[in-house]
Structure 1
Amino acid sequence: MCLTNTFDTISTLAVEKSIRKKVYPHNKLNSYRLPCRTLLCSIFLLIIFVILNSLLWSEIQEFELVFASPTEVEQIRTFQDWNCGINSTVNSNYFIKEIRIPEKCSVPIAIGYDEKDNKVWLVGTRNGTLLEYDPDANNFSSYKIPNWYSRELPAGTSWSWALKFDKTYNNIWFTDEKLDSLWKFNKTNRQFEQYIVPYKSESYSTSYPISLAFPDENNVYFVGIRSLSLWHGSLDGMKSGTSKGIEEIPIPLSDSFKGIPDYEVGLGSLAIDHGNQNIWITALAFDKKGLLVKYNIPDKKFSLYELPDTIKSPTGISIDKDGNLWITDHATSSFYKISPPSNSSMINMNEVEHFVTAPLSSRIIGIKHDDLSNNTVNLYQSSLPYWIKSTEEDNIFTNEHVGNKIAKYSPHNDTLTEYWIPSQNILYSVCSPQSSTNICGYSNALQFDIQYNTTDNTINKDARIWFSEQSENKIGYVDLGKKIPINIVVNPSFLNLKNGVNDTVKLNMNVLVNLSLLQQELEYNNTEDKNMSLKPIWSTSFSPNGNLSGFSATFTPNLLNMEYNQSNIDSKQTYANVKVELKINHKINPGNYNLIVGIESKDFSILKKVKIKVSE
């Protein structure tokens, strides 16, 4: 299976060229599409970027189409299908609820939870709107951003990836791609201020600000994809409408990406280690090379750390309470834990623990999760974990862009839990929209934020993960207050393998079902037969996409059906057993690896980590 076959790159680029000449004949925007495609995302998102920023769009009012050719009208319709969520329905499952945005074609990305007022804020990147959602009242308020590049144009968006609250929690800050700016919105007086990045380049018209953070009450730091610099803003010295108070701090990357064209090198995001006053930044040449950058705020000095060759697209970054770095590799299905680096400029594999997501759900290609009739489909394709965040409870969250899931990894019990997003867009799939009746694709959940538990009993304040669906004109949340009805225990939890010695390895997976929780989920889903299908799954860190390189596996049984009925209604739980047999097919490089093994259901997946050591 190859999802990229869905997209006709050549024809899309031809559309971009013809429309750009009409709409932006003298603008620098014509010159920077390639770096965007190279740096921001994999091929799955690249074509979306081209369409978002190149195809004509309007509200399809008659007067706007009078002067449009038939080809341009078709392009407008295509843009709406791909980006506006016109045909998207509001869906939910037991764990996730979706909410439609009342504004037409908002193209939401940046999103943040306001713990002070219990509100959710997001940026509509097509029309330039800051939206406020009140979970208690279930309604939206909108605020028109004073200047927005794409608002009055027949084409385009200005992508906003980051929305943060400063230390006062009275101000909302967010990035603006096309106007190369940071915006601040004061919640008290409802006023906007714009701070322009003083970026100069002969090649690009914008630094493309993408990530920002506040080390204290007086300062903000941010990075842009194209500038290859860390930017610092002094909050007291910044003046709206100008670049005053913003300074550029160039990162010494000149010798770090030798042999790679400059336009392929960019920055991913940043995170602040408050305890050590360090700023950590991901730098990358997409799918070629990755680098970590550390900037010590008091000393104003950079340190660069080469990543192992297998980590080629570090994008999201977060720091846990123990100072460990967590990063995503957005070209793959991988995310990594990196121990605080030593003074060496090279991070070795002993400092890195490699994790992978579950394989893609077969629903991405239109096959039900429990349909085993086509077992030749390769589901070990890139799930594309994008951004990553850690919590005070030491949980790690990431959004699987193509995997169509929000994932939580809990280091304290080595458990990976993935929540399936109930919306799919067939245009983002290998399925044909014209001939297929299957539900295929993914919802483009491109950004998320975490709502923590609170100590009071105020309504709607359980822990949630809020996310935006860029192509569906919706937001949604994962209700973490609802418990997974399944627990699994895998034995053994450590495997010591020697090449040429171990031909077959056996594991035992006990699946424990809480019948009360199972009943609640089945009743919510109106499942008449009171049956939950569970499919055993696994991935390994032998490869970036989790495939079983060097192994083959069999599950007995290969499908479980857990029932809630009169025969077990008085029981608290039931269980099943799955035997896992691993056969080693060829030599595996010596080292430490992780195997994750578990089950996939309709609404969630739950997997446990098994450590593997391979020696000669």
Structure 2
Amino acid sequence: MRKFVKKQTKGIFAFIFLGGIMVTSGVVIAFPGIDPGTNPEITVTGTPADNFPDEQRAQFCGSSNAKSTDYIREFSIPTLCTNPLAIVTDYDGNVWFTETNTGKIAKFDPNTETFTEYDNSLWPPGGRSMMWGIDYAPDGSLWYTDESFDSVWKFSTLDETYDRLAYPSEGNSLPQKLLIDGSQIIINDFTGNKLTFLDPSQSGEEIQYLSVPSPIDNSVTADFAIDANDNVWYTNWLYQQGGVLVKLDKTGYDEAVRNGGVQFLPGKDFTEVYQLPVTLLTPNGVVVGDDGKIWLADTTSSSFFSFDPISAEFIQYVTADPLQSTYGNQTGVVKTPISRPYWIESDEQGRIVFNEQTANNISVMDPISQTLVEYNVPSKNPYWADCDPGTGTMIDDCGVAQIFDFTVDGNKIWFTEWVENNIGVVDTTVPLPIEIQLESNSLMITPGNSKELDFVVSSQAQKDLSDVSLILASTHDFVNIVLLNDYPESFQLDTDAPRPISVMIEISEDAIPGKYKVLLGAQLSDIAVSKYVTVTIE
């Protein structure tokens, strides 16, 4: 077996690049492995926590205290400080996930509510790796990526054995998301600027692979999705400079490879490229919706986007602002908190599901009803936000759990909490406590003018709801929402007293013509329910 060589600098670069160690205050927290010039104290515990100095354990190991709301239930992983990351379910509903800090695969049985962690004898002592991608194969095997050691792993759930395949590393590679597609495994090489296709029937170190280089040099190649016509859609971008949405004709590419007998072909022969909007800077997640539209998550904003392949039109959507409990703002430096949508998927009902990294949310958007439901995850790690009031003691119920991955299984959404050592599940069948009724779901306004819009917030719960706050959000500064009612910052919503709300949608004179989404709704401490209004600026 090839010697494990850990690319520590690559891991640090990728983690910073993805926004993984940035909080909304702009504070950047050191990644373990960077030598601060001291000899930090390490208390040996015989657990994975020993991979971190004592002073970093609260930050990276978390509390391991599982919490619950009416919509979310968490489960604490028995082993301390595993840093769970990629997650998937099998055909029986079992939940499988990778452990960054142990190199193990773990299983959670929802029926018995028990965990099983499978020792990996091939893993180097003290090794750590961000394992971003995982998928379950029909033969009962799990395939997943490993960025620190440039590897693709196979774990057999039948005989509980591991097999490591060397990923085709050419320079600064980072195998990230992974999908089993028939007889192929597709992986995006985030920093290697390519898509890689592997044959899962192969084993051993010398494997055959195909690579499709991305159109933009010296950029990153992010997540991908496959449409009904076997086209692969993925993004290719430069940090804070934008990029392109790429459509790869996979059928044509595969046929050319078979006919030519070559392993490497110019991607430009089989791709169509669409320029991303200037407001879409970090499109990590991508998914194809039931109607064929492409959905993209932007990790450096509070937005996600749809793209219509027929009209080549992008539409920008906005989330609610993060709750202050997620970013703290004890120092007052957070001027514009953002939610950072990260990965994005769809469910069996055609809804769009995504995680909001710095809002600590799992969110579900229905493209038909134009409804957004944001579920706030109860566990929070204060060392990833501005939660220190200056006393040296972190505030309870402040911070984020770093929800870096999730998987959809029917009506449930399973997710991992990278810095809280928990997994959790959202039950989307639980009735929503709030209903939003719009007077109109669309408006047409010319630049320099405004229109009034009414909507009603009603309680659907069996009790009065306290500490309700309004959501009034738009995607652009030239689309302004002004509240006409005299409402306090938070109010009580009685079961028998719906609240009518009036707002004025104002369009500035320098507004750019087009379609824009305005989000109107209401927020509780554990859930937000909103609806989108389409504002057409003529």
Give the TM-score range, shorter chain: 0.7 to 0.9
Correspondence list, 1:23-422, <5 A: 28-30=7-9, 33-34=12-13, 36-39=15-18, 41=20, 43-44=22-23, 50-54=30-34, 60-61=43-44, 76-85=53-62, 87-114=63-90, 116-149=91-124, 152-153=125-126, 157-166=128-137, 168=138, 170-201=140-171, 204=172, 207-216=173-182, 218-236=183-201, 238-240=202-204, 242-254=205-217, 262=218, 265-273=219-227, 275-300=228-253, 301-340=270-309, 347=312, 351-366=313-328, 380-422=336-378
Instruction: Give the C-alpha shift of residue 339 in structure 1.
Output: 0.7
Distance 2:485 2:328 in 1: 23
CA distance in 1, matches of 2:469, 2:524: 7
Q: Does structure 2 retain, via aligned residues, the 8 Å contact 1:361–1:379?
A: no
1:304: Cα distance to partner?
2.4
Aligned with 1:602: secondary structure?
Answer: coil
Please tell me whether the aligned partners of residues 538 and 595 of structure 1 are also in contact (alpha carbons under 8 angstroms): yes
Number of equivalent positions: 508
Amino acid at match of 2:177: S
Q: Distance in 2 between matches of 1:518 and 1:419?
A: 19
Letter in 2 for 1:518: Q
Structure 1 residue 387: Cα displacement: 0.2
Does the CA contact (< 8 Å) of 1:251 and 1:302 recur in 2? Answer: no
TM-score normalised by length of structure 2:
0.87
2:404: which partner in 1?
446
CA contact (8 A) 1:173 1:183 kept: yes
Aligned equivalents of 2:448 and 2:16: distance in 1?
44
Name structure 2 gaps, 5 residues minimum.
254-269
2:261 maps to none
Distance in 2, Cα, partners of 1:103 & 1:388: 29
- Distance change >3 Å, CA 377–CA 484, structure 1 → 2: farther
- Rounded Cα–Cα distance in structure 2 between residues aligned with 1:599 and 1:118: 33
Deviation per CA, 1:311-352, whole angstroms, max 9, x where unpaired? 11111000112211101111111101101257xxxx5xxx11
User: How far 1:91 sits from its partner (Å)?
Assistant: 1.3
Cα deviation, residue 197, structure 1: 1.1
Cα displacement string for residues 103-129 of structure 1 (whole angstroms, at most 9, x for unaligned residues): 111011111122x12210011110111
CA deviation after TM superposition for structure 1 residue 531, in Å: 4.2
Aligned to 1:588: 511
Displacement of 1:378: 7.1
Distance 1:62 1:321 in 2: 49
Could you tell me which residue of structure 2 aligns to residue 557 of structure 1? 487
Where do 5+ consecutive residues of structure 1 fail to align?
1-25, 65-72, 255-261, 369-375, 453-462, 520-529, 565-572
Conserved? CA contact 1:359–1:379, under 8 Å: no
Superposition pairs of residues 412-491 of structure 1, within 5 angstroms: 412-432=368-388, 434-435=392-393, 437=395, 439-452=397-410, 463-491=411-439
Using the TM superposition, give the Cα deviation of residue 451 of structure 1 relative to its aligned residue in structure 2, in angstroms: 1.2
Native 8 Å contact 1:553 1:582 kept in 2: no
CA gap of 1:160–1:427, structure 2 versus 1, over 3 A, is: same
1:552–1:584: 8 Å Cα contact kept in structure 2? no
Structure 2 counterpart of 1:319, one-letter code:
V
How far residue 367 of structure 1 moved from its aligned partner, in angstroms, is 8.7
What displacement does 1:30 show?
Answer: 4.0
Distance 1:103 1:340, change over 3 A: same
Q: Does the 8 Å contact 2:482/2:503 carry over to 1?
A: no
- Please identify runs of 4+ aligned residues in structure 1 that moved more than 6 A: 45-49, 55-59, 376-379
Give the structure 1 partner of residue 458 of structure 2: 512
Conserved? CA contact 1:182–1:195, under 8 Å = yes
8 Å contact kept, 2:305–2:316: yes
RMSD value, Cα:
2.9
Cα offsets for 1:527-580 (capped at 9, x unmatched): xxx54331111111215xxxx75554454434431246xxxxxxxx65222222
The answer to whether the 8 A contact 2:225-2:286 is kept is: yes
- CA gap of 1:221–1:92, structure 2 versus 1, over 3 A, is same
Deviations 1:128-160 (A, max 9, x none): 1110000110111111223335xx23xx62000
Instruction: Find the residue that maps to 1:402 and give its secondary structure.
Output: helix
Does the CA-based 8 Å contact 2:449-2:507 persist in structure 1?
Answer: no
More helix per residue: 1 or 2? 1
| Residue identity in the other structure for 1:248 | S
What one-letter code is carried by the residue in structure 2 that aligns with 1:333? S
**Cα deviations across residues 383-442 of structure 1 (Å, max 9, x unaligned)?**
100000012311001000001111110011110011111112211222216156453211
Structure 1 Cα separation of the partners of residues 174 and 297 of structure 2 = 20
Closer, same or farther: CA 412–63 of 1 in aligned 2, 3 Å: closer
* Shift in alpha-carbon separation, 1:439–1:611, aligned structure 2, 3 A: same
How big is each residue's C-alpha offset from its partner over 1:200-231, in whole Å with a ceiling of 9 and x where there is no partner?
22xx3xx2111121221x11111111111211
Q: Distance in 1 between matches of 2:70 and 2:370?
A: 24
Q: Quick one: structure 1 residues 132 and 88, their matched pair in 2 at CA, closer, same or farther if it must change by over 3 Å?
A: closer
The DSSP-based 3-state class of the residue aligned with 2:23 is helix
Question: Counterpart of 1:446 in 2: which secondary structure?
Answer: coil
Taking the aligned partners of 1:531 and 1:495, their CA distance within structure 2 comes to 30
Q: Which residue of 2 aligns with 1:525?
A: none
- Please tell me whether the aligned partners of residues 556 and 579 of structure 1 are also in contact (alpha carbons under 8 angstroms): no
Query: Given that residues 244 and 275 in structure 2 are in contact (C-alpha distance below 8 angstroms), is that contact kept between their aligned partners in structure 1?
Result: yes
| TM-score normalised over the length of structure 1 | 0.76
| Aligned amino acid, residue 597 of structure 1 | L
Post-superposition Cα deviations, 1:491-510, rounded to whole Å, max 9, x if no partner, equal 132222122343xx322121
Does the Cα contact within 8 Å between 2:11 and 2:147 map onto a contact in 1?
A: no
- Distance in 1, matches of 2:476 and 2:301, equals 13
Any conservation in 2 of the 1:334–1:385 contact (CA below 8 Å)? yes
